[in-house]
Amino acid sequence: MRMCREYMAMIRVIANRIVRNLPIQTVVPLMIMLVGAGCASDRLITTVYGKDYGTTINTRFRYNLVNRPDLQSQVERLQPNVFSRTGIPVEINDDGFFVKDHEIGYWDDLNGFTLLVYFASFGTLPTVCSHDEDKRVIIQNIGADKIGKRINMHFDYKGTMTFFPPLGMICLRCDGSESVENGRAFVSSGLLIKNLVRDTCNEKLVEAVAYGVASRLKEMEDLGQIDESIFRRMKEAAAAERERQLKKAAEEAERKRRDLAMAEQRARAAAAEAERLRAQAASRTAMQKMQIEQANKPPYHIIDLVREKGSDFAYAFSLELDGNASIQTFFGVQNIFANEVRAAYQMEYPNADMSSLRVVVQPSLSNGRIVGRAEVLTIAPIALSYDASARLGRLSVRFNSSQYEEARAWARKNIETLARDKNIVLVSGEIPPAARFYSLGESLKNGNILEIEFKTE
């Protein structure tokens, strides 16, 4: 039992160092503590079922675990006559094969009876921890061939511990591999205080995987299932894969071309639709503008328009109707022309109070033409008083002093318009909404304020 001998040799070395450096009265208690520290050991046996080819396997071809590059370097070291990074591609499935954290050697694997014996004997007799299960690795592909060959294995782990050595080392066996019935067993053992359970087990499992995969590849070569034709199939598969990739690339390029063409077509259609909508909107705008212009266009054109001398804003005009002259057209043109004269006055005098502007048009119809005089008067109502019981009132308006006669005549004629102007504040009384107004007389104050007395009925 090599590991036990190593353990006892380690104790002797420590004891010799202690004896050389400490007095005798200190050495004895330390040796008692060292012996009483206890001992724990573990053992892992992994059995690979199948034909036993010995520890070293030689195959005709070399193989590369392409889907497990992390294992490739290890299996090359363990079976150098089988595995090589330049070898035939091999894919394996080893899901669930290797030990994970806390999978073995912990409370779930403790034997309850031996634990009771351990406590009952105060640590003299060992407690046992064991884990036992079947595992497998599958060779899925070799080169271009789908294989699906299963390699069955058995995993057997045991660990023991006592408070007093050496009974805790009963699981120790020599490391290595040996031929067993229906396969080969790989044995690993050691002191638990020296070996980490998970890492140590996985290291030994790699050795079992390397042997199991190598033995199955050797067996397939011996049976003629792997021969020179595998390279022809690999070339054919590689050529087919290249053809598939080229076809895929061509299809992808064609798809992109179609997508680009469709995108360009959609862009052109969108641009055409946008242009159609823009033209439609422009046409509507132009039509609306034309309609507005037609609506605002006066039904006449000006023949003569001459400002009178000595007048602030008076014109002599001559208009020719665009259509047939009629009484209705004659009276309608007066309002339109008055508005145009008012707008022209505002352009010349932009600061003028538009509410005080009154346009007086004096037209006449002669041979299809409207001729006459137009003048802009400045008349602003400033005060209004009214006695509702007597139906008498007084209206004061301010006018341009140079337009007295024109302003007086217009004011007398349009008392109702001035009296109902919103800018006038009614001093007393309430003018009837449908009253008729009559001028009773007027007077002039300050040269530009005209007072008009009126009566309603």
pLDDT in tens, 314-338: 888 888 777 666 677 777 777 888 8
pLDDT at 423: 53
E strand or H helix at 252 = helix 229-296
Q: Which residues contact 224 (CB under 8 A, 6 or more apart)?
A: none
CA angle 153, 198, 126 (to 5 degrees): 90
Q: Given 297, 317, 345, which residue is the final one in a domain?
A: 297
Residue 173 pLDDT > 70: no
Q: Which of 122-136, 254-268, 371-385, 407-421 has the highest mean pLDDT?
A: 254-268
% of residues, the chain, pLDDT over 90? 28
- pLDDT at residue 7, rounded to an integer: 43
Domain membership of residue 204 (yes or no) is yes
Beta strands 176-180 and 183-191 are: antiparallel
**Whole-Å CA distances, 4 to 10, 123, 191, 201:** 10, 19, 9, 20
Q: Are strands 314-321 and 300-307 parallel, antiparallel or unpaired?
A: antiparallel
- Decide if 75 is inside a domain: no
Task: Point out the domain boundary residue: 239, 263, 297.
Answer: 297
Taking CA atoms, 351 is separated from 11, 168, 377, 380, 403, in Å, by 119, 118, 15, 15, 19
Q: Are residues 216 and 236 in the same domain?
A: no
Asked if 332 and 265 sit in the same domain, the reply is no
Mean pLDDT of 3-22: 48
Question: For residue 10, what pLDDT is reported?
Answer: 46
437 in any annotated domain: yes
**When comparing pLDDT for 405 and 30, which is higher?**
405
Q: What is the pLDDT of residue 33?
A: 41
171, 318: one domain: no
Question: For residue 107, what pLDDT is reported?
Answer: 59
Measured CA to CA, the distance from residue 230 to residue 238 in angstroms comes to 12
Structural domain contains residue 25: no
Residue span of the structural domain in which 209 resides: 36-54+88-226
* pLDDT attached to residue 197: 63
- 308 plus 448 within the same structural domain: yes
Domain finish residue from 226, 259, 278? 226
The closest alpha carbon to 169, from 152, 151, 191, belongs to: 191
Q: Do 248 and 322 reside in the same domain of the chain?
A: no
**Strand boundaries in 308-347, DSSP class E:** 314-321
pLDDT higher than threshold 90 for residue 192: no
Mean pLDDT of the chain: 80
pLDDT of residue 59: 95
Strand ranges (DSSP E) for 272-366?
300-307, 314-321, 357-366
Confidence at residue 15, expressed as pLDDT on a 0 to 100 scale: 46
| Whole-prediction pTM | 0.49
User: Does pLDDT of 195 surpass 70?
Assistant: no
Query: At residue 361, does pLDDT exceed 50?
Result: yes
When comparing pLDDT for 180 and 299, which is higher? 180
In a domain, 21, yes or no: no
pLDDT tens-digit map of 248-297: 999 999 999 999 999 999 999 999 999 999 988 988 888 888 777 666 66
Residue 18 forms part of a structural domain? no
Q: What local confidence, expressed as pLDDT, does residue 334 receive?
A: 78
User: Into how many domains does the chain fold?
Assistant: 3
Of the segments 85-89, 386-390, 442-446, which one has the largest average pLDDT value? 85-89
At residue 387 the predicted structure's pLDDT band, cuts being 50, 70 and 90, is: confident
Question: Does residue 420 share a domain with residue 311?
Answer: yes
Mean pLDDT, range 19-24, rounded to an integer: 53
Going by pLDDT thresholds of 50, 70 and 90, the confidence category of residue 92 is: very high
Residue of 428 and 343 predicted with greater confidence: 343
Instruction: Examine the pLDDT at 168 and tell me if it is beyond 70.
Output: no
Residues 103 and 168 placed together within one structural domain of the fold: yes
